[in-house]
Structure 1
Amino acid sequence: MKYLPTKTLLLTTCVSFLALLPAMAGAAAPTGLDANGHLLKVEAPVKAGLSFTRLADGVQITHDGITKNIIFYGPQTVRINANLGKNYWTAPSIVVVDKPTAVAFDIRETPTELSIVSEKLTIVVDKSSGALTFKDATGKVYTRERAKAPENLKPVDISGAPTYEAQNTFTLKPDEGIFGFGFIDEGELNRRNKDILLVQTNTGIVIPVMVSSEKYGILWDTYSKMTFKDNAEGATLWAESAPGGVDYYFMGGDSIDNVVKSYRHLTGEAPMYPKQAFGLFMSKERYKTQDRLLEVARTFREKQFPLDYIVQDWQYWGSDTDGTWSGMIWNKERYPDPEGMIRTLHDEHLKLMISIWPSVGNDTELGKELDSHGLRFEPLHWISKHARVYDAYSPLGRQIYFKYIKQGLLDKGVDALWMDGTEVEVGTAAWDPDDNIRDIKSLGKNALGDFTRYLNPYTLMTTQGTYDGQRATSDKRVFTLTRSAWAGAQRTGAASWSGDIFANWKTFGEQINGGTNVTITGNPYWSQDTGGFFVTEFPGGEQNPAYRELFARWFQFGAFNPIFRVHGTSIEREPYIFKDLDPEMYGSLLKSVNLRYRLLPYIYSLSWKVTSDGYTLMRALPMDFPADKTTYAINDAFMFGGSLLVHPVTRPMYHIQNPPAETIPSSALRTKAGQAGLEGQYFAGENFETPKGKTVDATLDLKWPGPPLAQPPAGLDGLDHFSARWEGELVAPEDGDYEIGVEGDDGFRLFLKGEKVIEDWNNGAKRYKSAKVTLKAGERVPLKIEYYQGGSERSLRLAWRTPSQIKALASAHKGLDFKVATYLPQGTGWYDFYTNARLDGGQTVTREAPLDIIPLYVKAGSIVPMGPVQQYATEKPDAPYEIRVYPGADATFTLYEDDNETYNYEKGQYATYDLTWNDKAQTLSIGARKGTYPGLVTSRTLNIVIAAPGNATGGEPAAPSKTIVYSGKAETLSFRP
């Protein structure tokens, strides 16, 4: 494959953009257009109000005032750009790095249609409406624009600049599945019949790519606030500001993998990561000193729990209350010797990842140099109040930002960057999309234009800058973690993660379909906070056995993520601590991590396929089984590579906790005046010092700030250090024992019948405390709640469980179920990974899943290479490989090896050899080695294992069926009985 330096890619983008888009000032006009995008001539007159001009790489049509350009970017890839004769972009695409391709095509005409016909793709234009239909080489319809009004374009002025409000609509097939758009908190894989807001948030990764089970994809090259809605009217993408009008790329293919490959050709290939990036990452918010970080690192090695990266989270620079925020500097008291610390880590064969932010402290040299060029925006960052966001849309801004990263972090030995808050986070923690829209727009204008049109892709620009800087100054492979992503992120070496999620079973389950809806867009590397970032629903955290069960199951899932990473706040979660605390749970963790490390030859070889062939490692089931419509609705299982079906356990089996108590409704609350709800009084100060505003709240389910604005409650000057008191009556709807509870942060007290029944008057994260009380139906109980807020999170909720709810929960706890039902897709046979029992596809199978088992099934006709148990990914480079063959169909697998660290693979310095299983002949052919590189292991023992009941079951090393010493020469082995 061909690799282009980033500067070449960006130059290509600029050239193609200026050559093709209408209305670009100073741009060379395409054939048939003047410099303003107006039609100069028509190749042939067409009736019904439609005319067309043949261009060098496509066709331009006009219909009812709309100019629509159809430009080939590949044999099955075309760009569709529709506007009202003017294009208001003032800069080239920041996403698409490919350029138009010379594709031979014919133009054919009938009285009602105009067809653009190439060898692999036909685009039919409806003369009556201008709507397009896309067909493959056989004439099968991929998809079509809505026949009536396929697009809607409205000229508008935003921030003093002309643009369009735009939308376009496709008519989907009734049983078509559509996937993608990134990590959107919908909890379902299939996006049919969904209404989705496409805006970056803390826990939302927006990627404007839709992939269909019909083997095509759509990339919208628009950056503003967008919505996607699928209903009876069609599947519609709306954009608030689309300066080019409707602008999308259609990508057809023979498979979903080919669609993804086309996306990568358009937006940039995904480079290789260092091999250690596929081991375990240990992260915490946060290790507060270099001594503590080194202590944790040493303990991993002493306890023999595998680890490759340890992560230093924020505030290593100072604190969040001064101007040192993210200045790429180290606090001398807590981190006196960062170079020595990193050398010690490297001596332990550990890599260091470190947190940086796009908001930069006012008192840093970085901040001052950016300010000297006007490259920081005015609004203050919500945490620091002494930091402002830098302009990553500016090439100079990116250059300055990277200069300080290099001299302050990378030159000291830091191995990888963790780029937090890249949505970009400004005035709030970016939880709410409406808050984030307001905050990002408040930044005003950037180097490319206003933030209304450039709302979403800040993350791409900042990771592009750090990638370009590292590629220009080092041959060490770039690995970046970013809390947000956009189309094209894969070319910058950036993996995204799903943000500051909460620890509960529902959120855990959403990571599965959310993650695959990221990777199916063509962004192959994704991760999440294994164990949940916030642990608020499990009192005691790691001491709570219910949380430990959740963590063990989540860790099993993490072992099959592209990037395997533990992270979170408040509690301890280094896996080794559970060895004595909970030996059974620790055994599950150790089994999971050892299986991950044993699979590294499989994972690393597939990572090469990601780079060289546009492949995807974490795969939504429809990627491999698009003809099996049952897979479209499977939200909790996925393929890991083409061989392993992974079905994480996403419910408790051993420690079933009750769901959160329900908020007490207004119908059960009364003020002294008889109104529904409770009367509240706010005070400045944490001890009711100065009375402020009064309120009547129908329910107590409060979070400050609340949408849509970050306003202080009831007349207070700020959002911190206040107190409040609510009073009224509780009205019981039925006889029996009630649980009355308060959930809040920070301190709270509850009084019933004049007696204090709950008190937790302390600073702390959100938690729930409850009391039991017996009431009669219709009884009115005096109630009072006192609350104070000391900083950070701000919430208060009054909740209950009624007698009937308590009875229902008791019934739910009877009869624990340890079995998991898994649907096995049609068209292939399967093996249970732990027993090698043969199973037919197209059915649901059930197996028990004790705490140390995650249901895994291997597709018949698979080759799965496995390596040794090791403490880090590169510990045993010459260890034997176990080659597991799962018969039932022919199979191939390409083993890949290189130096694990540099970009020499781009120069051809790598080695591969093919493993080929002939199922009819029962032979395994090991091909001749292709290529070489310095450090190549020239001779390796291969233990060949034919999977069968009683052999090669589970993750433990298996007894080989045959063993050879492979030295690079082709060899064929027979396994006939």
Structure 2
Amino acid sequence: MKRRDLFGLAACASAGALALPASAASRPSALDAAGQLRALPLHGSPDGFAWRRVAEGLQFRIGGLTKSVLLYGPGLVRVAAHLGQCYTTQPSIVVVARPQPPAFDVMDTGDQLALTGAGLRVTVDKLSGALTFFAADGRLLTRERTTSPTELQRVEIAGSPSYALTQTFALTPDESLYGLGQYDEPYMDYRGCDVRLVQTNIGIVVPFMVSTRRWGLLWDVYSKMGFSDRPEGCTFTAESAPAGADYYLTAGTDMDTVIAGYRRLTGAAPMFPKAAFGLFMSKERYQTQQQLLDVVRRFRAEHFPLDYIVQDWQYWGGEKNGPNGPEWDGQWSGMVWDAERFPAPAAMARELHDQLHVKLMASIWPGVGNETELAHELDAQGLRFEPLHWISKKARIYDAFSAEGRRIYFKHAKKGLLDIGVDALWMDGTEVEVGGAAHDPREVEADIKGLGRNAMGDFTRYLNVYSLVTTRGAYEGQRATRDRRVLTLTRSAWAGQQRYAAMAWSGDTTASWATLRAQIAGGLNVAMAGQPYWTQDTGGFFVNFGGGQHNPAWREMYARWNQFAVFNPVYRIHGTSVDREPYLFKSLDPQVYASLLGAAQLRMRLLPYLYGLAWRSTHEGYTMMRGLAMDFPDQPALRKVDDTYMFGPAFLVQPITRAMFHPEAPPPLTVPAAQLRTPDGQHGLVLEYFAGINFDQPASRTVAPLVDHRWPDPPLGSVPPGLSGLNNFSARWTGEITVPESGDYEVGVEGDDGFRLWLDGQKVVDEWSVGGARFKGQVMTLREGQVLKVRIDYFQAAGGRLLRLAWRTPAQRRELAEAQRHIDQRQATLLPGGCDWFDFWTGQRHTGGRSVQREYTLHEFPLFVRAGAIVPLGPVLEYTGQQPDAPWEIRIYPGADSSFTLYEDDGETYRYERGERATTTLHWNDAHRTLKFGARQGRYPGMVSRRTLEVRLMAPPGQHEPTRTVTYRGQALTLNFEPISKKP
């Protein structure tokens, strides 16, 4: 039986005879009035090529493949293909645009068809059905592979028919590819790479890719996907695509118009509250209402900028038997507050708002505790899945694919959180996290599929999109019940999620310089996948540096990480393991504190610049955090630069991603097998396995020649004898260590989750808690030939599985000390060509197209401003609304013509959508050395009608910087500057 498809795909049609082109007035539409496709007959030989012109483009058939090419607007085209049937009646949950019946031409040249519309031309090879895409100026964009470009195989999944899909494109050798989301990799360009598109804790999947040839590709498929680039072509695969192939190509004159096309298809990103561009302070977690308030009071006492305080999990009630006990609180994420630890949440919110001028964000989870009113209401309609959430034996995931499930979930979030004063929701674990598999996409895939079916279908088809549907519920619920702007933080994302005012962060990272470096590339690829907002855990979520915040190596890294975070779309500090409120470093490490304060104050000064960029993101589909290929696509030397980026049109940012003062120690060495003996003299240590995390039931006993275990994840590897699986077990190693040389050792254990170490009966390491991979050790003086009795206890809850007995020998410790004496404090930066650049800190002007280097203190990092930029700066504030009428500084960096639009509104509501907003456009004419302020456009209640502006024409060191101070009242005005002359 053939089915109509509601996605707007190619009609499910049988073969027919060749059709002559119809007149514009009589062309049939591919869609009916409800947006569903009509099955239109195609006429011609059943074994040959047949085609038909439709109102939105054309449809054709070749062999058994039916294919459509539909125009969605200038530079936007949709391609869909199936084998005569589409196995779905569901509308798209990603694309909200409808085809626009445009003026277009179709030309039949005998061996090919050519469809020409606004901004795009598509040709069809009649022999293979392969498509080739050209820009309006005739420039080749990309093409499908000539041989078998679209490969579909009928499959049955969860009792329903579907297609397995392989789609291949032929790329040009000179192009680079970006986007697709974040995969914890240090590179950006995907040429020659393989990517598994499955959501994880630290992986963000967004199936949109952009090319330096100014085209983008959006896949409207929701299952497990893969991408690979090989000499024979660039290939996308999908495990379950019931409608067949379904992709959109966007074309433009630059990457901004390409990404703007994606936003036209999937929805614009609404404005965040203005406070969202200040600092978010978060940790895992504030234990009590009093602690949270005390933190904010201390920020204010220190005059340290702060706009949001974040309450992480378990404010609803803590664990009854400890973090590893068998009975966790059934109130999990029930949108309620623990009466003992948070006795007056509404009063807390009022103090935050009225006295401390801070907003409150609180975390919620898709797992809902069985003892909550929310669970009872969901269960009454069968809207929770059966598998238990890993972190609580009394919680299960709610069905966000159900409109009723979303309504119930939001109803309780509103009652328990928003109505008492919570300003923003943090929707954690939205991959969706089920079994605690943090990083391995194979295990996450198995966990999600184990949920079975949701309200829309089986989870094989809907593997990747839980985050999209759950943030939809939060957004639509808030838009329907209040006029305050929505801001949602999520640990996952999908195409279209930006329209729900949701931004992803990069998950539970582990602090290291390598992680910081990878965050830069990952954040840029999220942005270039069409998501305008992204953030991350500044300082790394897990911190495995010995001594935590007391370790100078981590403190240096933390300072550098904040400098990167200031130039993220959203600036957010978060993590566990260490206390990282900036004021704590005031006495602990004054230099680090000064660096943190300087970074936060710079962020506040940038507010006029940031808010102008935010408006461009909403209004134009602009991208704030920009890979260099966005602005310099034709400079091949920049294609693979993945540690430097543009932030808006003005700033070139290169975070420092290595130690300059306190080098990070390399991982300790695994204790060699030659140094280990069992109690009866065998090589190695005795290893005993137990079922349960508290050595509940003996399972098996063996000898481990080396204590370096990375247990495989089922079903990919074996399970130790006596265990039913690789979650919730414990283990013990016993024996002896023989010391090979005299000196000071650091002996310890690297593990995930809990571990303890005894040496000669003394407990020297105690890390008995759920946590990521980390090393803990103790320094001790040992002598050559000394024999130490050793015992290691370990438990594994879920997720990562690692246990390693390790040490730093005296020789390795000497090498570390020597490295400290030879560290290089210089940093080189490759400046893009075609323009000059100003060093933000010194004012030194450099010619682009070459590398420059200098030494940087802990307070500075490579930050350059493009010649011709206009940079508006505000004063140093403690919160965004502190001085609405404060004077601004307008910096002009001469060297090219430029413009910048200042944007203002009430910062809180959606009245800007009704026109209550104001813009002022500034134009710099470099040849005439004039700055023109346009007349202010628009107004809104509470608008500052007049503002003092100090305009500075920036000049290199040793030259006079002309300044003008004016009062801008909304009328057009022009400032003239004399040529820069050297100081006498």
Q: Same fold (TM over 0.5)?
A: yes
Q: Distance in 1 between matches of 2:4 and 2:527?
A: 29
Q: Distance in 2 between matches of 1:635 and 1:946?
A: 32
Q: How does 1:419-434 map to 2 (within 5 A)?
A: 419-434=427-442
Instruction: Kindly indicate whether the alpha-carbon contact (under 8 Å) linking 1:749 and 1:756 is maintained by their aligned counterparts in 2.
Output: no
Instruction: Kindly indicate whether the alpha-carbon contact (under 8 Å) linking 2:565 and 2:571 is maintained by their aligned counterparts in 1.
Output: yes
Q: 2:418 aligns with which of 402, 410, 434?
A: 410
Aligned to 2:965: 963
Q: Which amino acid aligns with 1:796?
A: L
Q: 1:22 aligns with which of 3, 8, 11?
A: 11
Q: Distance in 2 between matches of 1:686 and 1:235?
A: 46
Q: Quick check: 1:626 aligned with 2:615?
A: no
Q: Please say which of residues 112-121 and 348-357 is displaced more in the overlay.
A: 112-121
Deviations 1:584-604 (A, max 9, x none): 111111111111000100000
**Residues 147 and 546 of structure 1, relative CA distance in 2, 3 Å threshold:** same
Q: Quick check: 1:918 aligned with 2:925?
A: yes
Q: Distance in 1 between matches of 2:811 and 2:348?
A: 58
Q: Which amino acid aligns with 1:786?
A: I
Q: Which amino acid aligns with 1:415?
A: D
> How far is 1:617 from its partner?
0.8
Q: 1:496 aligns with which of 504, 516, 526?
A: 504
Query: Which secondary structure does the structure 2 equivalent of 1:304 belong to?
Result: coil
Instruction: Kindly indicate whether the alpha-carbon contact (under 8 Å) linking 1:228 and 1:238 is maintained by their aligned counterparts in 2.
Output: yes
Instruction: Kindly indicate whether the alpha-carbon contact (under 8 Å) linking 2:509 and 2:515 is maintained by their aligned counterparts in 1.
Output: yes
After TM superposition, the score normalised by the length of structure 2 is 0.91
Q: How does 1:111-260 map to 2 (within 5 A)?
A: 111-260=110-259
Deviations 1:243-273 (A, max 9, x none): 1111110001101000110000000000001
Aligned to 1:3: none
Aligned to 1:601: 608
Q: Distance in 1 between matches of 2:296 and 2:338?
A: 20
Aligned to 1:641: 648
**Residues 100 and 675 of structure 1, relative CA distance in 2, 3 Å threshold:** farther
> How far is 1:345 from its partner?
0.2
Q: Distance in 2 between matches of 1:691 and 1:69?
A: 62
Aligned to 2:19: none
Q: How does 1:402-801 map to 2 (within 5 A)?
A: 402-536=410-544, 538-664=545-671, 678-683=685-690, 691-697=698-704, 699-702=706-709, 706-708=713-715, 714-715=721-722, 719-720=727-728, 722-727=730-735, 741-744=748-751, 746-749=754-757, 759-761=764-766, 763-764=768-769, 766-769=774-777, 784-789=790-795, 795-800=802-807
**Residues 55 and 662 of structure 1, relative CA distance in 2, 3 Å threshold:** farther
Q: Which amino acid aligns with 2:11?
A: P
Q: Distance in 1 between matches of 2:92 and 2:376?
A: 30
**Residues 807 and 569 of structure 1, relative CA distance in 2, 3 Å threshold:** closer
**Residues 746 and 40 of structure 1, relative CA distance in 2, 3 Å threshold:** closer
Aligned to 1:263: 262
Instruction: Kindly indicate whether the alpha-carbon contact (under 8 Å) linking 1:171 and 1:235 is maintained by their aligned counterparts in 2.
Output: yes
Q: Which amino acid aligns with 1:403?
A: K
Instruction: Kindly indicate whether the alpha-carbon contact (under 8 Å) linking 2:535 and 2:569 is maintained by their aligned counterparts in 1.
Output: yes
Aligned to 1:109: 108
**Structure 1 unaligned spans of 5+:** 1-13, 954-958
Q: Quick check: 1:339 aligned with 2:340?
A: no
Q: Distance in 2 between matches of 1:815 and 1:400?
A: 61
Say how many residue pairs are matched. 947
**Residues 293 and 33 of structure 1, relative CA distance in 2, 3 Å threshold:** closer
Deviations 1:140-164 (A, max 9, x none): 1111111111121110000001000
Q: Distance in 2 between matches of 1:668 and 1:70?
A: 68
Query: Which secondary structure does the structure 2 equivalent of 1:633 belong to?
Result: coil
Instruction: Kindly indicate whether the alpha-carbon contact (under 8 Å) linking 2:663 and 2:819 is maintained by their aligned counterparts in 1.
Output: no
Q: Distance in 1 between matches of 2:468 and 2:682?
A: 52
**Structure 2 unaligned spans of 5+:** 14-26, 320-327, 980-984
Q: 1:393 aligns with which of 396, 401, 412?
A: 401
**Residues 749 and 127 of structure 1, relative CA distance in 2, 3 Å threshold:** same
> How far is 1:784 from its partner?
4.6
> How far is 1:720 from its partner?
4.9
Q: Distance in 1 between matches of 2:429 and 2:330?
A: 17
Q: Distance in 2 between matches of 1:771 and 1:918?
A: 64
Q: Distance in 2 between matches of 1:391 and 1:315?
A: 22
Q: Which amino acid aligns with 2:230?
A: N
> How far is 1:806 from its partner?
5.9
Q: Distance in 2 between matches of 1:424 and 1:301?
A: 37
Instruction: Kindly indicate whether the alpha-carbon contact (under 8 Å) linking 2:189 and 2:639 is maintained by their aligned counterparts in 1.
Output: yes
> How far is 1:669 from its partner?
6.8
After TM superposition, the score normalised by the length of structure 1 is 0.92
**Residues 731 and 112 of structure 1, relative CA distance in 2, 3 Å threshold:** farther
Q: How does 1:810-889 map to 2 (within 5 A)?
A: 811-889=818-896
Aligned to 2:915: 908
> How far is 1:523 from its partner?
0.6
Instruction: Kindly indicate whether the alpha-carbon contact (under 8 Å) linking 1:683 and 1:716 is maintained by their aligned counterparts in 2.
Output: yes
**Residues 741 and 104 of structure 1, relative CA distance in 2, 3 Å threshold:** same
Instruction: Kindly indicate whether the alpha-carbon contact (under 8 Å) linking 2:678 and 2:734 is maintained by their aligned counterparts in 1.
Output: no
Q: Which amino acid aligns with 1:961?
A: T
Instruction: Kindly indicate whether the alpha-carbon contact (under 8 Å) linking 1:83 and 1:246 is maintained by their aligned counterparts in 2.
Output: yes
Q: Please say which of residues 788-797 and 540-549 is displaced more in the overlay.
A: 788-797
Q: Distance in 2 between matches of 1:654 and 1:675?
A: 45
Deviations 1:657-686 (A, max 9, x none): 321124357688788999986542234688
**Residues 316 and 119 of structure 1, relative CA distance in 2, 3 Å threshold:** closer
Instruction: Kindly indicate whether the alpha-carbon contact (under 8 Å) linking 2:4 and 2:11 is maintained by their aligned counterparts in 1.
Output: no
Instruction: Kindly indicate whether the alpha-carbon contact (under 8 Å) linking 1:32 and 1:53 is maintained by their aligned counterparts in 2.
Output: no
Q: Distance in 2 between matches of 1:951 and 1:967?
A: 34
Instruction: Kindly indicate whether the alpha-carbon contact (under 8 Å) linking 1:946 and 1:952 is maintained by their aligned counterparts in 2.
Output: no
Instruction: Kindly indicate whether the alpha-carbon contact (under 8 Å) linking 1:758 and 1:771 is maintained by their aligned counterparts in 2.
Output: no
Q: Please say which of residues 68-77 and 756-765 is displaced more in the overlay.
A: 756-765
Aligned to 2:24: none
**Residues 15 and 587 of structure 1, relative CA distance in 2, 3 Å threshold:** farther
Q: Which amino acid aligns with 1:40?
A: P
Tell me the C-alpha RMSD between the 2 structures: 3.0
Q: Which amino acid aligns with 2:634?
A: A
Instruction: Kindly indicate whether the alpha-carbon contact (under 8 Å) linking 1:605 and 1:896 is maintained by their aligned counterparts in 2.
Output: yes
Instruction: Kindly indicate whether the alpha-carbon contact (under 8 Å) linking 2:7 and 2:92 is maintained by their aligned counterparts in 1.
Output: no
**Residues 729 and 853 of structure 1, relative CA distance in 2, 3 Å threshold:** closer
**Residues 72 and 783 of structure 1, relative CA distance in 2, 3 Å threshold:** farther
**Residues 372 and 974 of structure 1, relative CA distance in 2, 3 Å threshold:** same
> How far is 1:749 from its partner?
2.9
Q: Which amino acid aligns with 1:410?
A: L
Q: Distance in 2 between matches of 1:690 and 1:89?
A: 49
Q: Distance in 1 between matches of 2:503 and 2:86?
A: 33
Instruction: Kindly indicate whether the alpha-carbon contact (under 8 Å) linking 2:179 and 2:528 is maintained by their aligned counterparts in 1.
Output: yes
Query: Which secondary structure does the structure 1 equivalent of 2:639 belong to?
Result: helix
Q: Distance in 2 between matches of 1:311 and 1:665?
A: 45
Q: Please say which of residues 797-806 and 103-112 is displaced more in the overlay.
A: 797-806
Q: Which amino acid aligns with 1:746?
A: G
Q: Distance in 1 between matches of 2:794 and 2:74?
A: 64
> How far is 1:692 from its partner?
2.9
Q: Distance in 2 between matches of 1:234 and 1:180?
A: 18
Q: Which amino acid aligns with 2:661?
A: Y
Q: Distance in 1 between matches of 2:907 and 2:30?
A: 51
Q: Distance in 2 between matches of 1:55 and 1:968?
A: 50
Q: Which amino acid aligns with 1:759?
A: V
**Residues 114 and 802 of structure 1, relative CA distance in 2, 3 Å threshold:** farther
**Residues 949 and 463 of structure 1, relative CA distance in 2, 3 Å threshold:** same
Aligned to 2:313: 314
Q: Distance in 1 between matches of 2:738 and 2:460?
A: 48
**Residues 63 and 818 of structure 1, relative CA distance in 2, 3 Å threshold:** same
